[in-house]
């Protein structure tokens, strides 16, 4: 297991070699968005995800009796069902390990929303009503990219302005509100492209002939074409961040309201969007130093200065 983790930390990620020929260099920060492009190696989050998958596989194999006697992947803290440090030698000092062995240190979770002006520019370079409807739904409802692409005929309630998506993880069908503009763009897409209307069939289709159901990679390619025009590197998940940021900026929404709409299992995940962004802090600091200093307090011209000084015991 140690050799496997060392291998993932050193070898380049083969997915990074499948980019566009005009794609920016790996690991470079985009000057317009401030986002860093993925690096050549596997990210720490990816390595930890691989360890979690292997731990679940070997845990099932050990329980079924056809695997190793001991799970080769060290368990996360407290996942063994027992008390933390239950078998600690009382003669030795306690050392609390925040991460299990071989687990990588992940950077603090951050979020990045698309500014309103950049969102308008992105919307303006889209080529068809289908892409405009998709972007509008992502920005207004905050659903995940795969959840929206999985919509089928019958999953929309135009009168209630809601869509029914299959939530990630729980796989439950849940209703999510969307804006009126999203359904207007959807109507234009259906009237312009005239995709196949199959009962219970996919809602989103490619524009090629013959049309095929729109996949995640095809939708991402449409966004990458818009990024190439603008010189940006926005992602589909940034649209979900933008929707969350816009909702939290509205005083009519509470944190629990946004958690319910985004369908987060824990409110702690939603609290990530309450953290101030670096660009917002920079703007506030610049505004602070650009503000002229407050004038020093002075006496009203109607008062006798010498009398006031004598009253307050101030020596000039």
Q: Which burial class, exposed, middle or buried, applies to 6 when counting CB atoms under 10 A from its CB (0-12, 13-18, 19+)?
A: exposed
Q: Give the span between the Cα atoms of 254 and 260, in whole angstroms.
A: 10
What is residue 227's predicted lDDT score, i.e. its pLDDT? Answer: 94
**134-157 residue pLDDT tens:** 999 999 999 999 999 999 999 999
Which tens digits make up the pLDDT trace of 257-291?
999 999 999 998 999 998 888 778 888 999 999 99
* pTM for the whole structure: 0.78
Q: How many CA atoms lie within 13 A of 253 on its CB side?
A: 18
Dist. CA 221–CA 153, nearest whole Å: 24
What is the chain's pLDDT, residue by residue, as a tens digit (316 residues)? Answer: 999 999 999 999 887 766 666 666 777 888 888 888 888 889 999 999 999 999 999 999 999 998 888 899 988 765 444 445 555 666 666 565 567 889 999 887 778 889 999 999 999 999 999 999 999 999 999 999 999 999 999 999 999 999 999 999 889 999 999 999 999 999 999 998 888 888 889 999 999 889 999 999 999 999 999 999 999 999 999 999 999 999 999 999 999 999 999 999 999 899 999 888 877 888 899 999 999 988 887 778 888 888 888 888 877 6
Are the C-beta atoms of residues 225 and 113 closer than 8 Å to each other? no
C-beta atoms surrounding 189 within 10 Å: 21
228, 280, 270, 151 alpha-carbon torsion, rounded to 10°:
-30
According to the model, what pLDDT value does residue 81 have?
A: 43
Could you give the domains of the chain?
A: 1-84+96-107 (no CATH), 116-273 (1.10.443.10)
Instruction: Show which residues are catalytic.
Output: 144, 168, 237, 240, 264, 273
């Amino acid at each position: 297991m140690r050799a496997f983790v060392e291998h993932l930390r050193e070898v380049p990620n083969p997915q990074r070699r499948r980019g566009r020929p005009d794609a920016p260099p790996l690991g470079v920060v985009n000057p317009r968005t401030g986002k860093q492009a993925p690096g050549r190696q596997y990210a720490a989050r990816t390595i930890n995800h691989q360890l979690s998958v292997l731990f679940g596989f070997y845990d099932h194999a050990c329980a079924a009796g056809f695997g190793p006697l001991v799970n080769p992947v060290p368990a996360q803290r407290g996942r063994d069902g027992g008390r933390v440090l239950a078998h600690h030698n009382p003669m030795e000092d306690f050392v609390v390990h925040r991460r299990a062995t071989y687990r990588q240190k992940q950077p603090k979770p951050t979020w990045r929303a698309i500014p309103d002006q950049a969102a308008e520019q992105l919307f303006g370079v889209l080529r068809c009503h289908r892409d405009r409807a998709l972007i509008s739904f992502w920005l207004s409802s905050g659903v995940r990219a795969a959840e929206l692409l999985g919509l089928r005929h019958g999953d929309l309630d135009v009168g209630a302005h809601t869509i029914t998506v299959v939530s990630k993880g729980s796989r439950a069908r849940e209703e999510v509100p969307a804006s009126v503009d999203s359904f207007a763009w959807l109507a234009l897409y259906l009237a312009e492209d005239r995709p196949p209307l199959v009962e219970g069939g996919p809602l989103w289709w490619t524009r090629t002939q013959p049309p095929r159901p729109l996949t995640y990679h095809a939708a991402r390619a449409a966004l990458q074409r818009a990024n190439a025009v603008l010189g940006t590197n926005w992602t589909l998940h940034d649209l979900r961040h933008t929707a969350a940021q816009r909702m939290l900026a509205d005083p009519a929404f509470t944190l629990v309201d946004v958690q319910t709409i985004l369908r987060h299992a824990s409110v702690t995940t939603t609290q990530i969007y309450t953290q101030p962004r670096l660009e917002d802090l920079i703007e506030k600091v610049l505004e602070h130093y650009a503000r002229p200093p407050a004038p020093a307090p002075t006496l009203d011209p109607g008062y006798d200065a010498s009398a006031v000084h004598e009253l307050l015991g101030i020596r000039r």
